[in-house]
Amino acid sequence: MVPFLTFGAILSLAGSAVSQQPLYAQCGGNGWTGATTCVSGAVCTKLNDWYLQCLPGNAPPVSTTTPVPTNSGPSTTPTSLPPVATPPNMSPEWQAAYEKARVAVARLSLQDKVNLATGVGWQNGHCVGNTPAISPISFPGLCLQDSPLGVRFADLVSAFPAAINVAATFNRTLMRQRGEAMGDEFRGKGIHVALGPMMNLARVPAGGRNWEGFGSDPYLSGEGAYETIIGIQSHGVQANAKHYINNEQEHSRETSSSNVDDRTQHELYALPFLRSVQANVASVMCSYNQINGSFACENDKMLNGILKGEFGFPGYVMSDWAATHSTLSVNKGLDMTMPGDITFGSGTTYFGNSLVSAVQSGSVSQARIDDLAIRILAAWYLTKQDSGFPPVNFHAWNLNDPFNKHVNVQGDHKNIIREIGAASTVLLKNVGGTLPLKAPRSIGIIGNGAGPSSRGPNGYSDRGGTDGVLAMGWGSGTADFPYLITPLEAITTRARADGTIVSSTLSDTDLNAAATVAAGKDVAFVFITSNSGEGYITVEGHAGDRNNLLAWHGGDALVARVAATNSRTVVVVNSVGPIIMEPWINHPNVTAVVWSGLPGQEAGNSLTDILYGVYNPSGRLPYTIGKTENDYGARVLYTSGPQIVQMPYTEGLFIDYRYFDKNNIAPRFEYGFGLSYTTFQYSGLSVAGSADGGTAPSGPGSSLDPWLHEKVVTVTFTLANNGTVAGHEIPQLYIALPASTNSPPKSLKGFDSVYLTPGQSKTVTLELSRFDLSIWNVAAQRWQVPTGQTGILVGASSRDIRLTGSVTN
């Protein structure tokens, strides 16, 4: 087990002894060395072997085998106080929305308020999620619709690059522009709530839905979420931060408990959600899994204690679809149940009349119902959907229904899709100037991943197939392609201008055909893939999560055969995440490797822009590519059974590159790595300022405290393009906290995308806040800047550090 911050270290940081743990703090569990008693009014409750927690009340600990209630049950007193009516440190935009919402809620009956929170049921509305209209306040009801990369179940929409590709750009401007374009499309269809972005952390490299998020680092994920939310909500569409929290794999996602210590939760998995709150995100979706023995959608600690408490989240929490487990989940922080019925099509609900009865019996307070109603309506007012918002104009369940107005919302979004596709492409290897291409006489194109699907781009339901160019994974996080440009099509079109002869075979298994096409060509492109998605679809034996990190369809053998035939073999990878490249990466004839990821509808064009040098590659890996799957700190747990599967996060803070660094494991390609067609020089590091002095607050709204987020350290350096091609460099800032904190050797805390022409130089400035330099002090339940020297590391990747400095706090 990776040690947590020892109690002694915490005492030295806090500067005073702590003998009792505060409300919601950890108070025991395997490996715990801190205090085991709680403050008055809280009891140390065993949730599982790994986690005991100070929960409100004086009742005996709750057994983890107690059945979850299936109805509102008898009249009981709520086990925790409802959240405060006005969260502290609320933004001016939220304050104005709350004022309107309070006025509106005062006009509503109990039934109206409950109806605001109760979905109408699976497939009982035009959207994947729907709430009813409330006539006294002219509230039209809400349309909630997937997905994080475009409008699902609709026509005449765009299929954007997946979030994992957006993360690979390390470019906030492109992140924002994608969000704006998606917000425009959701609004154009009359959708009130876009169900994204997704910001789970790719804890396990084979996790099925990793590609829906922004990679394995909480800082980059937070920035991706922040910019996406700002972009979506700039068009008056409510964004939805999901899946809160620790929904890190598909196997047993509804029957498992992610057992996570308090520090790891704050510093890793919750951080992107805090950044979402800073972006004024309207809503948060709680996940299917349990956290420390309690289901996410009725987890008092995570919903009331952290999200609505420490983070001061003013919006509403909705359940993932059918992730509500009881009526009294309302007391634990759940505000809306989706899609409304207990199970799809059951016609029953934990909310609705059951919730009305719970209020009438005293099990749920009227104040709590007012609170959830205010939160839901405030989000509606926040995004100004009370004025001029278009009505729903599509039918998710039947595109041929007369209700569908077939509104084309694509605009010019293909341009930003193509740009992001290129900017997210990572050049991993380029020997002898193989790329960019310079009017070769002949090109061989090999592999199914270069061509079209045999069923067309939308031939597999929710993209549940791996056939043709891979431009998104599968599941609810998808959208229909309006078209899909294949690499074969795009390369052939471009090659025609040079008079280049293109030959191809689109079989992954006909190795003789592959060798024939590759033989004698100036360059041979071999396309390989690896796919994953949501667990309700199994593709080629992969039940959501990948079974391993190997290329699909015998990709290794295909590369080997082509490389044995052609001395200028270029491997193009379209993958949801890392694959093991060891069988061929060092082959002398594999002279270039291009990581295309999941680029969306312009896949072929984006790739061709890179191959021909129209766009100088600047993508960087948002995860580590290891040499074996065993090199990673955590892996998918494929165990299943009738009991809740325990998933101990014993690696703690050390996931992905943090684990590689801590254990001195050499990756194949490190986090943040990527090549360019030019070279860049770093010089002149200056570090000014300090986070020394003062104490961060604790309690409600404390994680939003302006003092905590004030920029107090300024890092400057000079970046120069000393090559011959214009392009973007991605400088990355990592910090190395004092050894006494038991922190990762390096943690990303800053980045930029800087465009430079040949010979040009620029001064780059990156700033750090007290929060950036803090750890979570479990005993004091507050953020704390460690005393001592913190390293400032600036470079081109997590392992290519060019400049080093420090700050003393």
Residues with active-site annotation = 320
What is the bridge-based pairing of β-strands 711-721 and 569-575?
Answer: unpaired
For residue 754, list its beta bridge partners: 729
Cis status of the peptide bond prior to 648, with omega within 30 of 0: no
Question: Is the Cβ–Cβ distance between 470 and 458 less than 8 Å?
Answer: no
Q: Which of 532, 383, 478 lies closest to 148, judged by CA?
A: 478
Query: What's the rounded Cα separation, in Å, for the pair 559 and 789?
Result: 48
Query: What's the rounded Cα separation, in Å, for the pair 91 and 107?
Result: 25
Query: Phi then psi for 90, rounded to 5 degrees?
Result: -80, 140
Residue-by-residue DSSP string for 84-96: PSS-TT--HHHHH
How many helices (H) and strands (E) the chain has is answered by 18, 30
Question: Is the Cβ–Cβ distance between 297 and 338 less than 8 Å?
Answer: no
DSSP 139: B
Amino acid type, 211: W
Containing 501, the helix (H) or strand (E) segment is strand 501-505
Query: What's the rounded Cα separation, in Å, for the pair 158 and 683?
Result: 42
DSSP 539: B
Token digits of residue 635: 């892996």
Q: Which of 174, 149, 144 lies closest to 576, judged by CA?
A: 149
Containing 662, the helix (H) or strand (E) segment is helix 657-662
Cis status of the peptide bond prior to 61, with omega within 30 of 0: no
Token digits of residue 606: 């984006």
Query: What's the rounded Cα separation, in Å, for the pair 219 and 181?
Result: 23
Query: What's the rounded Cα separation, in Å, for the pair 81 and 186?
Result: 37
Cis status of the peptide bond prior to 243, with omega within 30 of 0: yes
The position carrying tokens 């993209």 is: 463
Question: Is the Cβ–Cβ distance between 307 and 273 less than 8 Å?
Answer: yes
DSSP 469: S
End-to-end Cα distance, the chain: 30
CA angle 339, 228, 727 (to 5 degrees): 150
The position carrying tokens 């991706």 is: 224
Amino acid type, 764: V
665 burial type by CB count under 10 A (0-12 exposed, 13-18 middle, 19+ buried): middle
Question: Is the Cβ–Cβ distance between 517 and 524 less than 8 Å?
Answer: yes
SS3 320: coil
- Residue 1's contacts (CB-CB under 8 Å, 6 or more residues apart) are 30, 31, 650
441 burial type by CB count under 10 A (0-12 exposed, 13-18 middle, 19+ buried): exposed
Query: What's the rounded Cα separation, in Å, for the pair 663 and 648?
Result: 20
Query: What's the rounded Cα separation, in Å, for the pair 238 and 379?
Result: 7
Number of other CB atoms surrounding residue 376 within 10 Å: 24
Helix, strand and coil content of the chain, in percent to the nearest 5, comes to 25, 20, 55
Token digits of residue 790: 């913190």
DSSP 397: T
For residue 720, list its beta bridge partners: 681, 761
SS3 261: coil
